[in-house]
Amino acid sequence: MKKNAVVIVEMGLRDGLQNEKHVLDADTRVEFARRLITAGSKRLELGAFVSPKWVPQMAGTSEVVSKALALQKAGDLPKKMEFSVLVPNERGMMDAIESGVKEVAIFAACSESFSLKNINCSIDESFERFKPVMALAKKHKIKVRGYLSTCFGCPFEGKVPEARVVKLAERMNKLGVYEISIGDTIGVANVGQVESLFKKLKKVVPVKKLAAHFHDTRGQALANILEAYKVGVRVFDASLGGLGGCPYAPGAAGNVATEDVVYMFQGMGIKTGLDLQKLIDIYPWMTEKIQHTLPSKVGKVGILKPLGAVTPS
Amino acid sequence: MKKNAVVIVEMGLRDGLQNEKHVLDADTRVEFARRLITAGSKRLELGAFVSPKWVPQMAGTSEVVSKALALQKAGDLPKKMEFSVLVPNERGMMDAIESGVKEVAIFAACSESFSLKNINCSIDESFERFKPVMALAKKHKIKVRGYLSTCFGCPFEGKVPEARVVKLAERMNKLGVYEISIGDTIGVANVGQVESLFKKLKKVVPVKKLAAHFHDTRGQALANILEAYKVGVRVFDASLGGLGGCPYAPGAAGNVATEDVVYMFQGMGIKTGLDLQKLIDIYPWMTEKIQHTLPSKVGKVGILKPLGAVTPS
């Protein structure tokens, strides 16, 4: 990574679309990936190998992966790309191996209540499930990214103790993941928490292995990213348009919008590798596909295009 | 001001409502002020003495001021309050004096095109207009706040040179204003610009006399406030709910939302003097009065209220 640069991991196809009411077919999702990659995206989570019964939005993930890999093989997409897929367990990992993807992501919660509600097992049990996944990953030379969710607050338990998050990050690091994404699943984090938690995390996990994952439920995501950057974090998760923020369910909100993040870093002179105008150009296409306005403000308004000087009449 | 504290100047009644399609009568505006003050607001701009022909939303400002002052006199509002009113010229200043208000605000643009379009005169001419206003202010012991608009970008000319903003801030300071609010009128500023401009401004105007005024057109306002805070700014303009962001006019957006700003500072352990829950409680009342959803995310969602721990079933 360049000294004055950040990496944005595109969540739109997974964390974004998975939380949208309207389901997009595999071809549209491949086209979404293609447009993102044309705008400079180099790390994308393409989907999740979860049961389509529970998450119909992620059905056809293997088709998305195989088509993306085929486009790459044909030279229609750059060779230097990192496609990843979320896997909840060994079964999902087998699907991932079969799909040919070279990176997967695993996830655990930092709150027992959230873990029970979300994946119907305790935090300890979720770490047990990681063992066969990590073994398969090693065998098949697949990189593994780890997510910790509800790191700043839980919808059931409220505040989540920092010490617990730090301990779980350490534990996940020991599993052999190459990066740990610290998630504010319900968009409740504030700048004070971000500073405090990441400073503690840095002591147990090298900061270059830490990523920040904010949802914009309370409009704090960009300020939180700025603070995380100041503490030394250089990898940020984001979704084009802020996908995932279902306008029909107040309280649920998507990832921070990729465009908004790029607008900020570009203004700071920090490289993201992304072309802001090309990202903005995807916005109207996606709002049409997803059938509602997306929260990204930069996506909505675009960059400033001066109308021309006014002279006295 | 306490060391670890910021001041939020409430813009809702002026910059907010003035840019809303729906016009609120004087009594509703007084009730809005009363609710804000109950939530801890100590500095409010109550309206503008401008022609109701051009700005019908601000008609009845003298009634708002006199009713607010009467409530204060009757002991129904705290004695230690700062009510202000925007005045564009001598005529407006005369109205302000008559209303009994003890503070006014004057404004100039940092772009000739914007000045011409907005108030039909050059920047120099607008400074000429300040002379009689400042003379009257001195005579009647009225405090004057200054606004500089389009400090980060102009809808007609695009980029605004920093040197020009710095020069105009110096010039405004010499007029005798007690504070200068640096405005991102069209919500185009980024963190890089904020850091750079305020560092230069601090060299010519004491930082305690500087305020930051961001519109949230591109979702950058909160990150910009965080950066301005880090550079030393302690006074921030905001509107409850993010009023002013007319949903019918893409490209126009209101001030940053008071609730969202308070959420951030509270999380940082920085005092605002405002009660976040009481601000959030105003949100539904105002959306009803203004007849549309307001952009504030904290206003919409509220603070986290845990649902209670989940146990294995």
Least confident of A83-92, A156-165, A238-247, B293-302: A238-247
What DSSP state is assigned to residue B24?
A: P
B9 touches chain A (CB under 8 A): no
| pLDDT classification of A176: cutoffs 50, 70, 90 | very high
pLDDT, tens only, B106-116: 999 999 999 99
Cα-only R_g, chain B: 19
Answer left, alpha or beta for residue A307, where phi above 0 means left and psi between -120 and 50 means alpha. Answer: alpha
Q: What angle do CA A248, A252, A255 make, to 5 degrees?
A: 115
- Side-chain half-sphere exposure of A70, counting CA atoms within 13 A: 9
How many C-alpha atoms does A221 have within 13 Å on its Cβ side?
34
Which tokens in the block code for residue A267?
């203004």
Q: CB of B222 within 8 A of CB of B264? A: yes
Q: How many residues does chain B have?
A: 313
What is the rounded average pLDDT of the residues B269-286? 98
pLDDT, position B20: 93
**CA-CA distance, A222 to A226, in Å (whole number)?**
6
Q: Which of A114, A192, A226 shows the shortest C-beta gap to B267?
A: A192
Digit-coded pLDDT (tens) for A4-57 = 899 999 999 999 999 999 999 999 999 999 999 999 999 999 999 999 998 999
- Catalytic site positions of A: 246
What pLDDT is stored for residue A253 in this prediction?
87
Q: Which residues of B touch A122 (CB under 8 A)?
A: 312
CATH of the structural domain B7-301, one choice from 3.20.20.70, 3.40.50.170, 1.25.40.10, 3.40.50.1820: 3.20.20.70
pLDDT of residue B4: 86
> How many angstroms away from the CA of B191 is the closest CA of chain A?
6
**Average pLDDT rounded to a whole number, residues A145-157:** 96
pLDDT at A207: 98
- A251 close to B (CB below 8 A): yes
The answer, yes or no, to whether residue B252 has pLDDT greater than 90, is no
In chain B, % of residues over pLDDT 70 = 96
Per annotation, catalytic residue among B110, B121, B151, B246:
B246
Phi, psi of A5 (to 5 degrees): -145, 155
Q: What per-residue confidence (pLDDT) applies to A174?
A: 98
Locate B19 and state its tokens. Answer: 């840019």
The answer to whether the CB atoms of A269 and B192 lie below 8 A apart is yes
- pTM summary value: 0.96
C-alpha A167/C-alpha A153 separation (Å) is 16
Q: Hey, which residues 115-134 in chain B have their CB within 8 Å of chain A?
A: 116-117, 122
Cross-chain Cβ contact B297/A219 below 8 Å: yes
Per-residue b/e over A70-87, b at no fewer than 16 CB within 10 Å? ebbeeeebeeebbbbbbb
pLDDT one-digit tens code per residue, A119-130: 899 999 999 999
- For residue range A239-292, what is the model confidence (pLDDT) as tens digits? 999 999 655 555 668 999 999 999 999 999 999 999 999 999 999 999 999 999
Among A217, A219, A226, whose Cβ lies nearest the Cβ of B191?
A226
Plot region of A176 (φ>0 → left; ψ -120 to 50 → alpha; else → beta): left
Q: Any catalytic annotation for residue B246?
A: yes
Taking CA atoms, what residue in B is nearest to A152?
B304
| Region of poorest pLDDT, from A2-6, A297-301, B27-31 | A2-6
What tens digit of pLDDT does each residue of B88-109 get? 999 999 999 999 999 999 999 9
Kindly state whether A306 is in contact with chain B, defined as any CB-CB distance less than 8 angstroms.
yes
For residue B41, which of B305, B293, B282, B286 has the smallest C-alpha distance? B282
Share of chain A above pLDDT 70, in %: 96
Check residue B246 and give its pLDDT: 58
Mean pLDDT of B68-85: 94
Chain A: closest CA distance from residue B289 (Å):
20
- Over 80: is that where the pLDDT of B3 sits? no
Tens-place pLDDT, residues B155-174:
999 999 999 999 999 999 99
Is pLDDT at B190 greater than 80 in this prediction? yes
Each domain of chain B, given as residue ranges in start order, spans 7-301
Band of the pLDDT at B251, cuts 50, 70, 90?
low
Range with the poorest average pLDDT among A79-83, A219-223, A258-262? A79-83
Query: What pLDDT score does B312 carry?
Result: 84
B309 to chain A, any CB pair closer than 8 A? The answer is yes
A250 contacts on B by Cβ (under 8 Å): 300-301
**Interface contact A112, partner B, CB < 8 A:** yes
Q: Is the CB of residue A154 less than 8 Å away from at least one CB of chain B?
A: yes
How confident is the model over B6-27, as a mean pLDDT?
A: 96
Q: Distance of alpha carbon A23 from its chain centroid, rounded?
A: 18
